[in-house]
Structure 1
């Protein structure tokens, strides 16, 4: 498994120290690979020979890679007509199924298939949820080892809210007071539209996916309520970034040899659009790249 890199960027916002933590360098192109390995290992230890996951792309790729290395069969359910055709997962030996509808429908179908066959449900809100959160939280240990306990803010994309919850959980365990700032697609995620109030699911036909925002789009974020609590408890907030802002952030990062997808660059897009004052080190986590 490839470790991530840390890049210092001091010229994107005057007077603000920005550190880029590139978690997109895993072979699957996704920061979700450590979580996928944790789930696959636990499922294997529990006696399962196959794991089912629903994904819009990145978690499916990560799980397919992890399962192949551990010797576990894998089925990835993708939303029909979305950007990921399943080519990478297929190359690892995984099976691909398609579900009509969106991401949530793919997860529901994966859950149904796992229950029907008695196989492992590897979805992020399933029985291996704690393994998912532990895997996502490992990046915090790496950052803490490099930076110590100095004041900092971490910027990450908003999808299901899983990463936000995982980062905050690990930060609390370390006693590191870091504000977690989540960045999502405007109008397309209930964490973003609910902030700062109570969690409210969006109508399933209210969200709009594009080639740039797919990983950020949910009408029901599976860890939504906990993510809202994590943002508030950490002193962070939810921020919006348009497709144009995502693409602009991606282009800026390319100047430093960094190649995230537009959605993977959402953290930087949100930071650059933030109009308030920024104190302490600003850490941007890049979560995915296009394959």
Structure 2
């Protein structure tokens, strides 16, 4: 994916979103990982509490560039909150499609931001499809994954890679990333690849994906050794209040994510709700970092990776969201 004037504009719009970078110390000792330098890239400091703010800000800026007065997405919560927040700041109308069944959809917050909420009697994937269909019919800006505006999201998330290099002085040996649609992982991969190509990093890190064990297309495809997404039926996945950001029978950027994982000799690991909740509570208690349970799939993935392979350098876990009370 090559640079163009629009992508450079979007990256410039994201300058100043630099999020904290911490070295884990106490947790390393608890897990007997003293030989590995593990860092956390904490996205929870963003205005609405997740990494989705990076993509939302970029998409709203792009919508304004294109002269669109309305932006739309389907969401399980975090992306809708981010889009509605930046749309309100920019004076752009937002229409957010939300599965009616989702427990932690942040609907009240989205409404407070002035967005119109459309409830969908179906899955997240169906909410995305209906949102995209409405965008086409009404000439709204479509910020959903899996369409022609994907490059905007990839560019936005690529800034995470640039910041890691700035903080660490080089690219790490491996980077753990939570994976639902795979959009964030692809963007981070593109950032590291571009930095390596431009001589700003000595390597492209191995990408280690973490996700839910209750159904994700990228995880299933990788586990079967497939370089292309394997179709799943909706009945294959089970959504819970904890895994909603990760569970997906259609990962809209699965093809690009699988390519990035294979290209970097990466791996994919899947975890239970209990494992993610326990790790998030431990990270909050021991390292004083308040994290959304689904976002620690990256750290769990690195923990599993260390047990299986010899590590030659530092590791970074991208923690994509801050703690919120979750309904059980």
The question of a shared fold, defined as TM-score above 0.5 by the shorter chain, is answered with: yes
Q: Which residue of 1 aligns with 2:3?
A: none
Task: Say whether 1:284 aligns with 2:305.
Answer: no
Equivalent residue pairs, number: 291
Which residue does the alignment assign to 1:273?
A: 304
Q: Does 1:71 align with 2:91?
A: yes
Q: Secondary structure at the match of 2:72?
A: strand
- Provide the rounded CA distance (Å) in 2 between the counterparts of 1:40 and 1:232: 32
1:38-187 alignment runs, 5 A limit: 38-83=58-103, 84-175=105-196, 176-187=203-214
Mark the CA change 1:150 to 1:29 in structure 2 (over 3 Å): closer, same or farther.
closer
For normalisation by structure 2, the TM-score amounts to 0.85
Q: Note if contact 1:79-1:102 (Cα within 8 Å) is conserved in structure 2.
A: yes
Contact 2:161 2:189 in 1 (8 A): no
* In 2: Cα distance, 1:129 partner to 1:272 partner: 30
Give 3-state SS (helix, strand or coil) of 2:245's partner: helix
Once the two structures are superposed, residues 209-258 of structure 1 have per-residue CA deviations (whole angstroms, 9 ceiling, x without a partner) of: 11111110000100001111100101211111111110121012102221
Tell me, in whole angstroms, the C-alpha distance in 2 between the residues paired with 1:151 and 1:36. Answer: 27
Whether the 8 Å CA contact 1:152–1:178 is kept in 2: the answer is yes
Q: With structure 1 as the length reference, what TM-score do the two structures score? A: 0.95
* Structure 2 gap segments, 5+ residues each: 1-15, 197-202
Structure 1 residue ranges without an equivalent (≥5): none
Instruction: Trace 1:185-264 onto structure 2 (pairs within 5 A).
Output: 185-195=212-222, 196-197=225-226, 198-254=228-284, 255-264=286-295
Specify the SS of the correspondent of 2:67. coil
Structure 1 vs Structure 2 CA RMSD: 1.5
